[in-house]
Chains A and B, each alone.
Chain A
Amino acid sequence: MSGNEISYAIIGFLIITGSLFSLISAIGLIRLPDIYTRSHAATKSSTLGIICVLTGSFIFFVIDQSYVSARLILGIIFVFLTAPVAGHLICRAAYRTNVPLWDKSVQDDLRHILKRDDYNHKSTEFE
């Protein structure tokens, strides 16, 4: 009986933390100044938020209904693997279409390298 209560406490903790992380990453999307810093918030906190919620619901179905849902585990793995890649791709596309960095940015090593002819030539032949 008490074991069940402990697991319900864990489930509640996981789901509330997950939704808090999602909320905070949404606030980060509004507050942060440019697309690159925004994608920091979007890739990290919201990934962890979704993973927490999915883990909580997985444990809930195991404890309460004694039903092991393999799809939730697969969902956790897929979100974990694809969210950072999506962040990387969106940032790369933004950079290549000359979306400016925030004016308070201090360093930009990529700009002059991207202008060099051989670099761009090589990367187009890659595609």
Chain B
Amino acid sequence: MSIQILLNLVIAVVWMFLTNTWDAVAFFKGYIIGLGLIFLLRRFIPETFYLRRVLAALNLITLFFKELVISSLIVVKQVLSPKLNIRPGIFALHTDLEGDWEITVLCLLITLTPGTLSLEVSPDNKVIYIHAMDIPDAESVVNDIKQTFEKAIMEVTR
């Protein structure tokens, strides 16, 4: 991925060199042209076309904000309800993600998800222990959401 961005920057600079104009507009034009060239030559480049992964990262960021708003509203509902009927607990989640970055991002997402808080990651990075605010209805729904999160993170990193 980084090699493709570097290649694109080089193409943009070469474009500025060719047209002999040195400003941001020329750089931008060159960048667009380089994007097109890399898209055409994507068969010869080892990884997937990098714009797809940039879009996936943007998708992940919007997911972060959406989850933050929803989880705050749920906390507000539970705090302001007159009777406290929550059943908290800790459950284990087995994850398929590997590598420190992916696990960290997944833990951040879990912490910002409605009603869950990542408590501990096992030393072999296979299991995440999650404290849930309301276990009985949460577990199935949360496992479901995890699948979408894991998929969204994998879209970015692989």
Residue of A nearest to B111 (CB): A84
Residue of A nearest to B123 (CB): A122
Question: Which A residues have a C-beta under 8 Å from some C-beta of B?
Answer: 21, 24-25, 27-28, 31-34, 36-37, 39-41, 43-45, 47-48, 51, 80-81, 84-85, 87-88, 91-92, 95, 101-102, 104-111, 113, 119, 122-123, 126
Minimum distance in angstroms from B117 CB to a CB of chain A: 6
Is A105 in contact with B120, judged by CB distance below 8 angstroms?
no
Question: Which B residues have a C-beta under 8 Å from some C-beta of A?
Answer: 64, 68-69, 71-72, 75-76, 78-80, 84, 86-92, 107-108, 111-112, 115, 117-120, 122-124, 129, 131, 133, 135-136
CB-CB under 8 A from A126, the residues of chain B are 123
CB-CB under 8 A from A104, the residues of chain B are 87-88
User: How many residue pairs at the A-B interface have CB separations less than 8 Å?
Assistant: 116
Residue of B nearest to A24 (CB): B76
CB-CB under 8 A from B64, the residues of chain A are 80
Knowing A48-B69, A48-B72, A85-B108 touch, does A110 contact B129 (C-beta < 8 A)? yes
Could you pull out 15 A-B pairs where Cβ atoms are within 8 angstroms?
A32-B84, A34-B88, A44-B112, A48-B72, A51-B68, A84-B108, A88-B107, A88-B119, A91-B119, A104-B87, A104-B88, A107-B89, A110-B119, A113-B92, A113-B122
Question: Chain A binding site: helix, strand, loop or mixed by DSSP?
Answer: helix
**Which of A33, A101, A109, A123 is most buried by chain B, counting CB atoms within 10 A of its CB?**
A109
Minimum distance in angstroms from A109 CB to a CB of chain B: 5
CB-CB under 8 A from A119, the residues of chain B are 122-123
CB-CB under 8 A from B91, the residues of chain A are 107, 109
CB-CB under 8 A from B120, the residues of chain A are 92, 95, 110
CB-CB under 8 A from A80, the residues of chain B are 64, 68
CB-CB under 8 A from B118, the residues of chain A are 88
Minimum distance in angstroms from B130 CB to a CB of chain A: 9
CB-CB under 8 A from A122, the residues of chain B are 123-124
CB-CB under 8 A from B86, the residues of chain A are 37
Residue of A nearest to B67 (CB): A44
Which of A27, A33, A105 is the one whose CB lies under 8 Å from B89? A105
CB-CB under 8 A from B69, the residues of chain A are 48
